[in-house]
Chain A
Amino acid sequence: MMRRETILNLLVFLALPAVALAALALDEPFTITLATRAAILALAAVGLNLALGLGGLVSLGHAVFFGLGGYAMGILASHAQSYAPLDLGLFVIDGTKSMPVIWLVAISVSALAALLIGLLALRTTGVYFIMITLAFGQMFYYFTISWPAYGGEDGLSIYVRNSFPGLNTLDPVQFFGLVFALLALVLWIMGRIERSAFGLALGTARQNATRVETVGLSPFKLRLVAFVISGAVTGLAGALFADLNRFVSPTMFSWQMSGEFIVFIVLGGIGRLFGPVVGACLFVLLEHLLSGVSEFWLIYLGAILLFVVLFARGGVIGALVGQGGRHE
């Protein structure tokens, strides 16, 4: 069973660059952008999957980290494009158009926010945890709406995509390559985490916290670390998403965004390493195909999601490889 899943994972993973390269050959840059969008959304959901799939933490506030990553990019790049220094109170810095610097800031800010939110939210479980994370999401959402310095409700446009040494990031396929490499790197790291003592303990804490405590591990700390890593990865995805669109707005913080990440994971298969990738690709594909058919395409998506939840509990991957995947 594992072998079938590995083959499927590999196929899905290679499908993304295959689509991008085919689009390049056919001179269809929009399709490359779609593949890039799928890869970025997949990255965001891969981040959430560590908390949700492995840790069992149903966070309805992961858009906070996605939005923070987006605004980290938006704020730094807008100051760089206007040559206005950024006054942080204690010190003043210049903006930047360098992607690696922006990513580092996005990851750090998201991780810090996840730490603070996690310290509070992880003291609760179940529906209370969902509500607290949702509340944080809404706080950030309404804060950015009422923050005129960075566009308020209208958002913030960045005219030229940020730069990465040695690449022309305005070329769709080069930007796709960059995003895909990051996705691959994060998936590799997540795979390592899943198999590490930390990952094993986190998965077990989801099922029985007391049993984990009796071997000397704190479920709270395990979940907090997972939540911070998870938030950081989703933050990185937020910075990339903002760079893809060259635009950030409060909708990146919306609870619908958090809901979409959960949908990707459920569609692909909860707790499966490649589940979010499959889910995000399917979502982008359906969005592209169905939105041409009807503006109410989300109804069809809802029906598909309902089908998956009712009849394919292991998600699309689970349905294709059988339910007997890893430890399910």
Chain B
Amino acid sequence: MTLLHLEGIEAAYGAAQALFGVDLTVDEGEVLALMGRNGMGKSTTIRVICRLMAHSAGQVRFAGQDMARTPPHVAARAGLGLVPEGRRVFSNLTVGENLIAAARPGPWDMRKVTQLFPRLGERAGQVAGHLSGGEQQMLAIGRALMTNPRLMLLDEATEGLAPVVRQEIWSALDAVRRDSGLSLLVVDKSLAELGRIAERAVILERGRSVWHGAMSQVAGEVANTYLGV
């Protein structure tokens, strides 16, 4: 069943149009990779999905509902869990407080999140702003999980982190996908790591979705043409 459906999305920052026609779908339980070079509209697409930005044309449907007039907090309540770019935890709250502030009823609770990321349990009383980058990222993911989303959106979740920490986070995301069947929409630059967890990919080029296909096919000429790798 289709959970998220974007059709012909256009959006602009003031006079500067950023999206010129983005189509994508995410099915229930599916992991979709949203790819593209820098400045092609990946983060803008995420912002439109989460309603942090309005679209000027096209349609966003989530769980069968048209989201055109939905404010961001209602979109989040409907089941869109965002792990924003640059981590952005509640830096002056403790780890535990970050998780409590976001909590909503559902299978994901404090116990399950700290099982997934034991370091969060160990640092529950520590102020989030004092955590390492990797720990903050784990917290951002944990906080999104605490909202018990149906679709989690990860915008450059492992950017700027040490390889070991990246590995840990990807493994955790893989475990989340396998165990809970949560749908994921992942934006990342690492082809190898996306290949581990994503089934399908959509590639954006200058604000348009230009390639749709299986993740396994993102290689060779496709990768070279659209991703510059």
Distance between B65 CB and nearest chain A CB, rounded to angstroms: 15
Within 8 A of A (CB), among B120-156: 127, 143-144, 146-147
Q: Is the CB of B104 within 8 A of A216?
A: yes
Q: Is the CB of B101 within 8 A of A218?
A: no
**B102 beta carbon closer than 8 Å to chain A:** yes
Asked whether A216 and B71 contact (CB < 8 A) given A327-B92, A327-B127, the answer is no
Asked whether A216 and B77 contact (CB < 8 A) given A207-B92, A327-B93, the answer is yes
Q: Mark A317-328, 1 if CB is under 8 A from B, else 0.
A: 000000000010
Q: Is the CB of A216 within 8 A of B101?
A: no
Q: Mark B56-94, 1 if CB is under 8 A from A, else 0.
A: 000000000000000111101100011010001010110
Q: Is the CB of B93 within 8 A of A215?
A: no
Q: Mark A209-227, 1 if CB is under 8 A from B, else 0.
A: 0111111111100000000
The tally of residues in B whose CB lies under 8 Å from a CB in A reads 26
Q: Is the CB of A216 within 8 A of B102?
A: yes
**B12 beta carbon closer than 8 Å to chain A:** no
Q: Which of A200, A203, A210, A327 contacts B72 (CB 8 A)?
A: A210
B77 to chain A: closest residue by CB:
A216
Residues of B within 8 A of A216 (CB): 73-74, 76-77, 102, 104, 147
Distance between B79 CB and nearest chain A CB, rounded to angstroms: 9
**B229 beta carbon closer than 8 Å to chain A:** no
CA distance A216 to B103 in the complex (A): 9
Asked whether A197 and B103 contact (CB < 8 A) given A215-B144, A216-B76, A218-B73, the answer is yes
**A40 beta carbon closer than 8 Å to chain B:** no
Q: Is the CB of B73 within 8 A of A200?
A: no
Residues of B within 8 A of A208 (CB): 88, 90
Asked whether A197 and B127 contact (CB < 8 A) given A213-B52, A214-B84, the answer is no
Asked whether A214 and B52 contact (CB < 8 A) given A203-B93, A207-B92, A327-B92, the answer is yes
Residues of A within 8 A of B50 (CB): 214
Q: Is the CB of B82 within 8 A of A214?
A: yes
Q: Is the CB of B101 within 8 A of A213?
A: no
Distance between B126 CB and nearest chain A CB, rounded to angstroms: 12
B98 to chain A: closest residue by CB:
A200
CA distance A213 to B50 in the complex (A): 10
**B210 beta carbon closer than 8 Å to chain A:** no
Q: Is the CB of B71 within 8 A of A218?
A: yes
**B97 beta carbon closer than 8 Å to chain A:** yes
**A201 beta carbon closer than 8 Å to chain B:** yes
Residues of A within 8 A of B81 (CB): 215
Q: Is the CB of A215 within 8 A of B127?
A: no
Residues of A within 8 A of B97 (CB): 200
**B100 beta carbon closer than 8 Å to chain A:** yes
**A204 beta carbon closer than 8 Å to chain B:** yes
CA distance A217 to B144 in the complex (A): 12
B90 to chain A: closest residue by CB:
A204
Most buried by B among A201, A204, A207, A219: A204
Q: Is the CB of B71 within 8 A of A215?
A: no
Distance between B187 CB and nearest chain A CB, rounded to angstroms: 15
Asked whether A211 and B90 contact (CB < 8 A) given A200-B97, A201-B101, A327-B127, the answer is yes
Q: Is the CB of B88 within 8 A of A215?
A: no
CA distance A212 to B84 in the complex (A): 12
Q: Is the CB of B147 within 8 A of A215?
A: yes
Residues of A within 8 A of B93 (CB): 200, 203-204, 327
Q: Which of A200, A212, A327 contacts B100 (CB 8 A)?
A: A200
CA distance A211 to B140 in the complex (A): 11
Q: Is the CB of A210 within 8 A of B143?
A: no
B89 to chain A: closest residue by CB:
A211
CA distance A327 to B81 in the complex (A): 26
A210 to chain B: closest residue by CB:
B52
CA distance A207 to B88 in the complex (A): 12
Q: Is the CB of B90 within 8 A of A217?
A: no
Within 8 A of B (CB), among A31-54: none
Distance between A322 CB and nearest chain B CB, rounded to angstroms: 16
Distance between A209 CB and nearest chain B CB, rounded to angstroms: 10
Distance between B102 CB and nearest chain A CB, rounded to angstroms: 4
10 interchain pairs, CB-CB under 8 A? A200-B101, A204-B93, A204-B101, A210-B52, A212-B73, A212-B101, A213-B52, A213-B76, A215-B102, A216-B102
Q: What would 10 more interface pairs be, CB under 8 Å, given A214-B84, A216-B77, A217-B102?
A: A200-B100, A201-B101, A204-B90, A214-B82, A215-B81, A216-B73, A216-B102, A217-B101, A218-B71, A219-B73
